[in-house]
Amino acid sequence: MRQGDVDWQNRLTPDGQRDVRQATTAFQANAAPPVPPALKPRCRVALVAGTGQHFTEEISCLLRHRLRVAALIALAGFGVFLIRNFISPDVRSTPIILGLHCAVVGVLTLVSAMLWSHLRLGVRALRALEAALFGSMALFFGYLQYWMFHHGNVLYGVQEDQHDRMLSLATAGNSLRWFVLIVLYGTFIPNTWRRCAIVVGMLTAFPVLLNFATCWKCPIMGVHAGQALFEMSVALGMGAAIALFGSYKINVLHHEAFTARQLGQYRLLRKLGSGGMGEVHLGEHVLLRRPCAIKLIHPEHAGDPTTLGRFEREVQSMATLTHWNTVEVYDYGHADDGTFYYVMEYLPGLTLQDMVERHGPLSPGRAVFFLRQICAALREAHAIGLIHRDIKPGNIIACQRGGVHDVAKLLDFGLVASHGLAKALGPDAGKLTVQGSILGSPPYMSPEQALGKSSVDARTDVYSLGGLAYYLLTGQAPFARETAMETLMAHVHEKVAPMTDLRPELPLDLQDVVLRCLSKEPDKRFPDVESLDRALADCDCADQWDGDRAADWWKRIEDESRSEPTMVGAGA
């Protein structure tokens, strides 16, 4: 994962643990609350055949969105004609027609208000609103048609030689209303093709049958009944065909999109971030309903098949890591298009970088508390020959797990170097380049890594841990230069400024540990993370932070966030 990929983990806003609870409880089993509120407005829930609850959620979200648009279109059309009738009354507009017109506008306004409100509407409620929306318009159109053709009202005051022309115009105008209503329903309302066929069939048959019943035995309209029925049947038949075909094609495209968002047993919900190697999505297991983070490594991003194969083997090695402080890898595999993906635990939390940026440098005790957890995670990785090579504040999440606060999770082994795989991968096993760049984070790269040396070992991670500690305690990286190259050269040649120059109150024993980690020569650093962990434990501040203090800190942050003004639309 590159810079930006870790955004998938940066979901703990200043709202603190409240967001943690919202993000995690929303993915529990059937007894738990449904999809997170943040996902609902954008219809992010995927539909998978055979999962009734997800089908209901998807239909509900999509149906509400489509009804909103359809209701606004209908309301705009009816409203414009109603205003025109009040400004310039039509001699044919009776009080009953005007009253019905006002009633339809009222129904459309009420339906629109309910659809755009914050009311939670299930599928049944939405279907009822759908019936009210299209039913009110159909009844109004039906009454207009009946009034026009009943006893030849449409021909009233028209010369006999103009009857055919007037009847054709009236039939065309009447058919146009029904045509628009039928096409609007078929192309806007999500349905199965059977349900769409039933409703569209009813909307098509009703005006034709009404015309037949009104005109066939009428002494005035009877002679014109055949012409009116033929013209209306052709026009509405075309509208029905368009509606049915449009509904079918839209459903096919939806299913294709849903299938594209399915990877094996995992469903992609929404994109969380992207970087040089691929994208990260929030997802969940189809059956277990467990939230997860899914990283997609596209073949074109990997550079070549060898690199992609190396990345896959490294992920296989990562999957063997079981330490509490290492992000857990659940699964991995290949999509049909060759995309490699792996599935990790989803960690709603705050990266150490965000924590420092928002709340300032950490206390010495808290910094040691996090650093020792990272040492513990690296101890397991180093034991099997995995060197991380990209330790930085943005790759460490502070989260709550199992009721414990300030749990540090080490992320992003995407640049991991594996000594155990070196023979199998050849002489370039220690290098992983993408798009011609040296991978890593310049502010925290060791001198040997900055020089592009392939013979890196655990002491490279020790150096990066020193850079991490420097940042946590001072709020800035060991070297802050204008360009990445200048930063890399500073790691190689320049001496690190003592942390007490920036924070005089920092304990000297902790500073000595950090500066030893940042030694230019690997032999002068701690030989391994076990030695570093012991040195951190011996610092006087090591016992000044624990889980209870962390819980108090998170509670205080949560209380402060509640007192802040709500930012409408933030995070949308």
**458 and 536, same domain (yes or no):** yes
Distance CA(224)–CA(163), nearest Å, equals: 9
Measured CA to CA, the distance from residue 547 to residue 398 in angstroms comes to 12
Residue range 164-217, pLDDT digits in tens = 677 777 788 888 999 999 999 998 888 877 889 999 999 999 998 988 888 777
| pLDDT, mean of residues 216-244 | 81
Owner of token pair 């029904």:
178
Establish if 119 belongs to a structural domain.
yes
Q: Are residues 339 and 255 in the same domain?
A: no
Shared domain for 373 and 320, answered yes or no, is no
Statement to judge: residues 341 and 354 lie in one domain: no
Q: Which two tokens stand for residue 346?
A: 């989803």
Q: Give 270's strand partners.
A: 282
Q: Is the pLDDT of residue 247 over 90?
A: no
* pLDDT at residue 330 greater than cutoff 90: no
What pLDDT score does 420 carry? 41
Distance set, CA 92 to CA 89, 144, 167 (Å): 8, 10, 15
pLDDT at residue number 19: 41
Residues 220 and 107 in one domain: yes
pLDDT band at 90 (very low <50, low <70, confident <90, very high): low
Q: What average pLDDT is seen over the chain?
A: 78
Residue from 344, 343, 464, 325 nearest 397 by CA: 325
pTM, to two decimals: 0.55
Q: How far is CA 124 from the centre of its chain?
A: 26
pLDDT tops 50 at residue 517? yes
Last residue of a domain, one of 216, 237, 260: 260
As a residue count, the chain comes to 572
Say what the pLDDT of residue 178 is.
Answer: 93
Return d(Cα 97, Cα 79) in angstroms, integer.
14
pLDDT more than 90, % of the chain: 40
SS3 511: helix
- Residue 38: inside a domain: no
CATH number for position 436? 1.10.510.10
With bands split at pLDDT 50, 70 and 90, how would you rate the model's confidence at 436?
A: very low
- Considering only residues 120 and 562, tell me which one the structure prediction assigns the higher pLDDT: 120
Whole-number pLDDT of residue 24: 38
- With respect to residue 535, please indicate whether it lies within any of the assigned structural domains: yes
Same domain? 400 vs 541 = yes
Predicted confidence (pLDDT) at residue 567 exceeds the cutoff of 70: no
CATH number at residue 307: 3.30.200.20
- State whether 256 and 267 are in the same domain: no
Q: How many domains does the chain have?
A: 3
Helix (H, G, I), strand (E, B) or coil at 178: helix
How far is CA 485 from its chain centroid?
A: 35
In a domain, 15, yes or no: no
Domain, as residue range, for 196: 47-260
User: Do the domain assignments include residue 570?
Assistant: no
Mention every residue, 6+ apart, whose C-beta is less than 8 A from residue 244: 186, 193, 196, 197, 200
Structure confidence at residue 433 (pLDDT): 34
What is the distance between the alpha carbons of residues 318 and 327, in angstroms, rounded to a whole number?
A: 9
Query: Considering 345, 377, 399, which residue would you say is the last residue of a domain?
Result: 345
- End residue of a domain, out of 345, 380, 412: 345
Average pLDDT over residues 365-377: 97
Identity of residue 156: Y
Q: What is the mean pLDDT of residues 140-148?
A: 88
Q: Which range is most confident: 168-182, 269-283, 327-341?
A: 168-182
487-511 mean pLDDT: 95
Same domain, 329 and 377: no
pLDDT band at residue 453 using 50, 70 and 90 as cut-offs? confident
Same domain, 287 and 246: no
Q: Is the pLDDT of residue 492 over 90?
A: yes
Within-domain flag for 61: yes
The dihedrals phi and psi of 521, each to the nearest 5 degrees, come to: -95, 125
pLDDT for the residue numbered 131:
94
> Mean pLDDT over residues 231-246, rounded?
90
Are 203 and 62 in the same domain?
yes
331: Cα separation from own chain's centroid: 21
Q: pLDDT band at residue 297, thresholds of 50, 70 and 90?
A: confident
Q: How confident is the model at residue 28 (pLDDT cuts 50, 70, 90)?
A: very low
Q: How far apart are CA 564 and CA 570, in angstroms?
A: 13
Looking at the fold, whether 355 and 239 belong to one and the same domain comes out as no
What confidence tens digit (pLDDT) does each residue in 414-434 have? Answer: 555 544 433 333 333 333 333
Mean pLDDT of 36-63: 45
The arithmetic mean of pLDDT across residues 300-309, rounded, is: 63
Active site (annotated) includes residue 336: no
Whether the pLDDT of residue 277 is over 80: the answer is: no
Q: Is there a contact between 9 and 349 (Cβ–Cβ < 8 Å)?
A: yes
pLDDT of residue 4: 41
Domain membership flag for residue 6: no
Task: Give the per-residue pLDDT at 10.
Answer: 41
Q: What is the pLDDT of residue 302?
A: 56
- Of 5, 15, 19, 390, which is the active-site residue? 390
Top-confidence range, 92-96, 216-220, 259-263, 425-429: 92-96
* 272 and 151 in a common domain: no
CA dist 367 and 468 (Å) reads 9
Burial of 79 (0-12, 13-18, 19+ CB in 10 A): middle
Asked whether residue 40 is assigned to any structural domain, the reply reads: no
* pLDDT reading at 321 higher than 60: yes
CA distance 290 to 24: 9
Q: DSSP string spanning 230-279? A: HHHHHHHHHHHHHHHHHHHHHHHHHHHHHHHTEETTEEEEEEEEE-SS-E
Query: For residue range 373-391, what is the model confidence (pLDDT) as tens digits?
Result: 999 999 999 998 888 888 9
Q: Which residue has the higher pLDDT, 521 or 286?
A: 521
